[in-house]
Amino acid sequence: MIEPLIQTDTLIVGAGPIGLELAVVFKTMGVDYVQVDAGQVGQTVSWYPRQVRFFSSPERIAIAGVPLSTSDQEKATREHYLAYLRGIVQQFELKINTYERVLSVQKQNDTFLVQTRRGGEQRTYQANHVVMAVGDMHHPQKLQIPGEDLDHVSHYFDEPHRYFGQKLLIVGGRNSAVETAIRCSRTGAAVTLSYRRAAFDDKSIKYWLLPEIQALIKSGQVTYLPNTTPTRLCETHARLVKTTAEGEIDPSGGDPIDVPADFVLLLTGYRMDTSLFEDAGVTLVGENQGPEFDPATMMTNVPGLFVAGTAAAGTQKRFRLFIENCHPHVSKITRSITGQSPPPGLINDAAKTYDLPES
């Protein structure tokens, strides 16, 4: 049986903050659009550890002209922001096809054919425009070492309680690894932190975390092993070797060391899934392998296919795109598709001095 085509002017792929902000603008302006997401609203945010706080202040990650306020006047937590995003969907009565995964995006003459699946149901959309607001953190950056798939090894930190009274090895040296080390140490875990470089980069760590981790290391509450990286993970321990100043394995670094570990958290970053961009014929450029696009319109090299949000940066090795400096993408895409600017007040201009640098 041939599935009927579902016609729409624009298909938005992704229901994170920037995708939702674009949907609010489109609905307000009467644009014919459909929005789908492979997971839930704010899916990437839901992967964050429980009670983790955003680096950005609330006014910078607010969307669609709706203020984001916190009860303690501090930065928003994961839970607070997810509730805020749900409130946006309810307030503007947005229709989002959640848990509907896009399988392929194909240009056919002047339109796109987009295949999706939700459960056992497959759908085919025909759209004049496609906006990819899919984020950039789809899969962990694996170390490709023996034992990485053992049950006590994970690339995701959920919450610290499970590590109480346990020997925990954390691998990494940026925000997620440092914050996890602090929280787990204070929950009663015996934390060892392995980082392939000699010292933390203060530009890569939340300013309130750096003095905390330094104090815990100085007091011995966290064991810090700089210039090390694991080469093998076993049921009871991890084998570490020395690294060079550039973070590569040092062949003259001496004998490896075995670090006892009941649990291992490999918090070494995440990579973007570029398969849909490649499927659609989008050129990937630079070391981040981000989509090629026009910074003035956010249109990729495939006419009619746009990129929004952090997906514009590809796999970010040095972060330059966050929620707070992606709001201008919504205005650019709206003007390109409709020929009009969004209604006043619907785009967050708290970070208007931040715009996408030309690549």
Tens digit of each residue's pLDDT, the chain (359 residues): 456 799 999 999 999 999 999 999 999 999 999 999 999 999 999 988 888 888 888 999 999 999 999 888 889 999 999 999 999 999 999 999 999 999 999 999 999 999 999 999 999 999 999 999 998 778 888 999 999 999 999 999 999 999 999 999 999 998 899 999 999 999 999 999 999 999 998 887 888 899 999 999 999 999 999 999 999 999 999 999 999 988 899 988 899 999 999 999 999 988 889 999 999 999 999 888 899 999 999 999 999 999 999 999 888 776 678 888 999 999 999 999 999 999 998 988 765 544 433 32
Residue 229, token pair as written in the block: 């990286």
Let me know if the fold of 5-138+272-338 is the same as that of 141-266: yes
DSSP conformation class of 342: P
Are β-strands 290-291 and 284-285 bridged in parallel, bridged antiparallel, or unpaired?
antiparallel
Domain ranges of the chain: 5-138+272-338, 141-266
Which CATH architecture group holds 141-266? Answer: 3-Layer(bba) Sandwich (3.50)
- Adjacent-strand bridge partners of 146: none
Are the C-beta atoms of residues 331 and 342 closer than 8 Å to each other?
A: yes
Distances (CA, A) of 63 to 106, 198, 219: 30, 39, 42
Amino acid at 233: L
User: Distance (Å, rounded) from C-alpha 64 to C-alpha 10?
Assistant: 19
Contact residues for 175 (Cβ-Cβ < 8 A; gap 6+): 55, 204, 205, 206, 209
Distances (CA, A) of 196 to 119, 163, 199, 213: 42, 23, 9, 16
User: Distance (Å, rounded) from C-alpha 154 to C-alpha 67?
Assistant: 36
Residue 87: other Cβ atoms inside 10 A: 12
User: Distance (Å, rounded) from C-alpha 192 to C-alpha 169?
Assistant: 5
User: Distance (Å, rounded) from C-alpha 298 to C-alpha 275?
Assistant: 19
Residue 169's pLDDT is what? 98
User: Distance (Å, rounded) from C-alpha 105 to C-alpha 297?
Assistant: 20
DSSP conformation class of 52: P
Nearest to 325 by CA among 314, 312, 338: 312
Distances (CA, A) of 151 to 160, 202, 244, 262, 264: 17, 33, 30, 10, 10
Element at 45 (helix H, strand E): helix 43-46
Q: pTM for the whole thing?
A: 0.88
Q: Can you tell me which residue has the tokens 């983790």?
A: 52
Nearest to 319 by CA among 270, 352, 246: 270
* CATH class for the domain made up of 5-138+272-338: alpha beta
Please provide residue 215's backbone torsions phi and psi, each rounded to the nearest 5 degrees: -70, -40
User: Distance (Å, rounded) from C-alpha 19 to C-alpha 92?
Assistant: 14
Are the C-beta atoms of residues 139 and 270 closer than 8 Å to each other?
A: yes
